[in-house]
Structure 1
Amino acid sequence: MSHTATPRTPRFGANYTPTQGWFHHWLDFDIDAVRADLDSIARLGLDHVRVFPLWPLFQPNRTLIRPRAVEQLVALANAAAERGLDVNVDGLQGHLSSFDFLPAWTQTWHRRNLFTDPDVVAGQEEYLRTLAAALADRPNFLGMTIGNEINQFSHDPHPDPDRITHTQAEAWLERMLAACEAGAPGRFHLHAEYDAAWYQDGHPFTPGQAARLGGATAVHSWVFNGTAQRHGRTGTATEHHAAYLIELAKAWHTDPHRPVWLQEVGAPAPHIPAEHAAHFTAATIANALDCEDVWGVTWWCSHDVSRELADFPELEYSLGLLTNDRAVKPAGETIARVVEEWRGRTYRPAPRTTALVLDTDPVTAPDRSVCAPGGAFFEAWASLTAQGVRPAVVLAEHAHDTARLAARGITATVTPEEVD
């Protein structure tokens, strides 16, 4: 089997954070404000947005999916289309910027497990199917993401998790993806977890699920997870963190050229100070696009959160490519320049011929903390990268599979113990 990566044109987008009312804007939906926001995003040259209905507002009762809310989502998608923007929709919100948004019919007196209760799961299926079906005939509708980092509800450190096994997590993902497909057949449906799926021992959502289920593998890269604290704002591990997650994900792929979507990445202060955000943005994108089979990069986020809104973690107020009054920030200028440089180009990075071997169970990956910042595997990958090696990642059980290695262009392997 030969190495036959397909040249790609990378996609560039933003996670849309409305300037008026943040995601509470669904309560006072103003299509003119949305259009102005989307105008400012489109002026950066971006080609897509990821948007976030708030689940409790769209489905306040298990058998009530509000038609007006669905109409507003379609109106947003139509406004995006008018500006040349494709749309991905996250369904189960779920969790956003430190706040949980769960409908009352899953909480307190009606407390039921989000992932295993038959009535809750059936309600989620109908909700996702309804949203997908409402957008199925829109040419700019990319597809559904099941929800934003909903895996955080399943395990520590959530203060009140709905605990499940990895087999229950997989069954839930399969049902939710099937519901999206039923609503909008043939679209680009996927799921997305925060990095506990890659880094946390025993977490029920696993790398294998991310790498096998859905139309692409999504990774969310945040260097406030210990990476920047340990390696500094310009450290190799910091500027290559997104690339590391992309390569780590590929170790579990059964299709050697399955697309990977860098669906969330941002420059969080104070770990990345404001005056260094542009440099970090440019370095992160360049390093991510030095990986093969990257579908695209979607920055978090489009606009800063308004200081009029209370109780957000401090970093959340400054993550935008644009200010809350839609002025372009240095990171936004950087994104616009990168987009212009890539316009009309296809790319196929040179294969990563050396792979770092990860010795873990391929199904449950019980010892994932070795892959986290400070873990032996993470630090070995960063060390190789600092030496200019451009390492891939391969599971130990595949390290001697010559056909699999050849399909990825890998000609040599090295273990963490062998890394200087």
Structure 2
Amino acid sequence: MTPSQASPTEPGGAPRFGVNYTPTRGWFHHWLDFDLDAVRADLDSVAALGLDHIRVFPLWPVFQPNRTLVRPRAVGQLVQLVDAAAERGLDVAVDGLQGHLSSFDFRPSWTLTWHRRNMFTDPDVLDGQAAYLRTLAAALADRPGFIGMTLGNEINQFSGDPHPDPDRITPGEAEAWLRRMLDACERGAPGRLHLHAEYDAAWYRDDHPFTPAHAARLGAATAVHSWVFNGTAQRYGAEAPATGLHAAYMIELSKAWAEDPGRPVWLQEVGAPAPHIAADRAADFTRTTVAAALDCPDLWGITWWCSHDVDRSLADFPELEYSLGLLTNDREAKPAGRALARIVEDVRERGHRARPRTTALVLDLPDHAPKRSVCAPGGAFFEAFTRLAADGARPTTVLAGRASDPAHLAARGITETVTVDDVGRA
């Protein structure tokens, strides 16, 4: 069965391996002067690593410069990119509302300055966003290699601190926005893998309006974005077990809030950022991180950030953004790219299915968890999880309200529960 023929949520299926596509020519500004030949060359170098999918990023103000105008030519170019990927055996997931990428914000002028409106609650903005997402999804609905829509890249960063000019909302307003936008994607392309993706404030930041319950219950899968520059590498060190475990920890943390015991989790962004991970350690970090993630049941796939290094002729990126690629800007595989390619080859040859994790660390937080910094690196729950792992356990997580529910535990294969205090006394 080819990747495009496989059900994206098939239980027990081998995890998918892909990359977040960063064009070599012009970065995401390539939509302004789209060059299909350059895109094809980029995708050839991605396919050469043995990967099976890419995630792509239309720039929202380029595609929808006016609230009632979604540019047909831009949509057509997106379809061309998806078709070019399919020719190379690559399925495609598409993000819609870009949104935020690599420290830059991309919002259309009809939401800013003289037209400043809350992007999560203003009725006219909501109508425009829904129409845009529905249009993109509908344009791709008949493409067999189209995986589905993600609402936007880490769009929760617009909703609160530390953004310099946030559109503040409540958790209820965040949920209403998510439900409406996911519905728009489903209307455009029924049955695809439509989801939303937040950066880790949803899991770690107290009082953030996008919550773990939103992430783990809305949409067709849970998306996890794992970045060790969030304090993990700084606190524990680049080579510490906690750093290599961070992505797997986030995957298992998400399961505490999931209502479906077998809900797929997509490690949608993970990378080896310098200087937190030195260039000569990137391959080792890749191997360690991927091995830990593959030990998590219900993993839909791993999508590395990113495909190609950002061209250094482009200015004002944070330094780490220039070197995150699996390939150079000249499309040559780097050590991390070669390491991931070997992992992919091995998994495909040997097959893979992670065993259930039988030990669950009990998380005593409510469903929508206003105070969740206990889960962040340095927090008591994070410390207990990593200690269990260091002692040889393969821990998962469970909310305290479900820790005494035999049916829930059995559905997840959990045979033992432990508390943070238990780990502290051990």
Task: Specify the TM-score bucket, using the shorter chain as the normaliser.
Answer: over 0.9
Residue among 88, 100, 103 paired with 1:98 = 103
How far apart are the structure 1 equivalents of 2:38 and 2:354?
A: 40
Residue 52 of structure 1 corresponds to which residue in structure 2?
A: 57
Partners of 1:210 and 1:16 in 2: how far apart?
A: 23
Aligned 1:24-35 pairs, distance under 5 A: 24-35=29-40
Instruction: Choose the corresponding residue for 2:235, options 224, 230, 239.
Output: 230
Cα distance in 2 between the residues matched to 1:198 and 1:403: 26
8 Å contact kept, 2:102–2:317: yes
Contact 1:7 1:346 in 2 (8 A): no
Paired residue for 1:8, among 8, 13, 16? 13
Structure 1 match to 2:189: 184
1:149-169: per-residue Cα shift (whole Å, max 9, x none)? 000000100000000000000
Alignment partner of 1:399 out of 395, 398, 403: 403
Match of 1:418 in 2: 422
* TM-score relative to the length of structure 2: 0.96
Secondary structure of 2:55's counterpart equals: strand
User: Aligned residue for 1:388?
Assistant: 392
Greater mean alpha carbon deviation, residues 55-64 or residues 337-346? 337-346
Q: Which structure 1 segments of 5+ residues have no match?
A: none
The match for 1:409 among 408, 413, 418 is: 413
Is 1:21 aligned with 2:34? no
Q: Which residue of 1 aligns with 2:164?
A: 159
Where does residue 145 of structure 1 map in the other structure? 150
Counterpart residue identity of residue 411, structure 1: T
Q: CA deviation at 1:345?
A: 4.8
Instruction: Pick the aligned partner of 2:250 from 232, 245, 255.
Output: 245
CA RMSD of aligned residues (A): 0.9
Query: What SS class does the counterpart of residue 134 from structure 1 fall into?
Result: helix
Residues 176-219 of structure 1: per-residue CA shift (max 9 Å, x gap): 00000010011110000000000000111011111111110000
Distance in 2 between the 1:345 and 1:133 partners? 37
Specify the SS of the correspondent of 2:96. strand
Matched, 1:210 2:210: no
Are the equivalent residues in 2 in contact too, given 1:94–1:102 (CA < 8 A)? yes
The aligned residue for residue 6 of structure 2 is none
Q: Distance in 1 between matches of 2:349 and 2:285?
A: 24
In 2, Cα distance between the equivalents of 1:178 and 1:337? 38
Superposition deviation, residue 346 in structure 1: 4.0
Partner of 1:130: 135
Q: Is the 8 A contact 1:169 1:204 kept in 2?
A: yes
Given candidates 76, 80, 87, the residue that maps to 2:81 is 76
Q: Return the alpha-carbon distance in structure 1 between the equivalents of residues 387 and 315 of structure 2.
A: 41
Query: Partners in 1 of 2:350 and 2:96 — Cα distance?
Result: 32
Is 2:383 aligned against 1:379? Answer: yes
Q: Which residue pairs with 1:319 in the alignment?
A: 324
1:240, distance to aligned residue in structure 2 (A): 0.6
Question: Counterparts of 1:71 and 1:167 in 2: how far apart (Å)?
Answer: 36
Cα distance in 1 for residues equivalent to 2:315 and 2:208: 31
Distance 1:418 1:311 in 2: 48
Q: Partner of 2:336: helix, strand, or coil? A: helix
Partner SS, residue 330 of structure 2: coil
Distance 1:60 1:133 in 2: 19
Question: Is the 8 Å Cα contact of residues 307 and 325 (structure 2) preserved in structure 1?
Answer: yes
How far off is 1:6 after superposition?
4.0
Match of 1:171 in 2: 176
Contact 2:228-2:243 at 8 Å conserved across structures: yes
CA contact (8 A) 1:51 1:88 kept: yes
Separation (CA, whole Å) in 2 of partners of 1:234 and 1:7: 31
Q: Residue in 1 aligned with 2:7? A: none
Q: Give the 4+ runs in structure 1 shifted more than 2 A.
A: 344-348
Which whole-Å deviations, capped at 9, do the CAs of 1:115-156 have from their partners, x for residues lacking one?
000000000000000000000110100010000000000010
- State the AA in 2 paired with 1:388: G
Check whether the contact 2:14–2:353 (CA below 8 A) recurs between aligned residues: no
Q: Which residue of 2 aligns with 1:370?
A: 374
**1:67 aligned partner:** 72
- Residues 1:291 and 2:299 aligned together: no
**Counterparts of 2:88 and 2:305, CA distance in 1:** 20
CA distance in 2 between partners of 1:156 and 1:80 (Å):
37
Query: In the alignment, is the contact (CA less than 8 A) between 1:265 and 1:299 conserved in 2?
Result: yes
Give, in whole Å, the separation in 1 of the partners of 2:183 and 2:360: 34
Letter in 2 for 1:220: H
**Secondary structure class of the residue paired with 1:92:** coil
CA deviation string 1:62-107 (max 9, x = no partner) = 0111010001000000100100000000000000000000000000
Within 1, Cα distance between the matches of 2:371 and 2:410? Answer: 27
Task: State the one-letter code of the partner of 2:27.
Answer: W
Secondary structure of residue in 2 paired with 1:343 = helix
Task: Give the TM-score of the pair, scaled to structure 1.
Answer: 0.98
Quote the residue 1:256 is aligned against: 261
Matched residue SS, 1:243: helix
| AA in 2 matched with 1:31 | L
Q: How many residues align?
A: 415
Q: 1:113 aligns with which of 115, 118, 128?
A: 118
Q: Distance in 2 between matches of 1:229 and 1:344?
A: 36
CA distance in 2, matches of 1:105, 1:344: 51
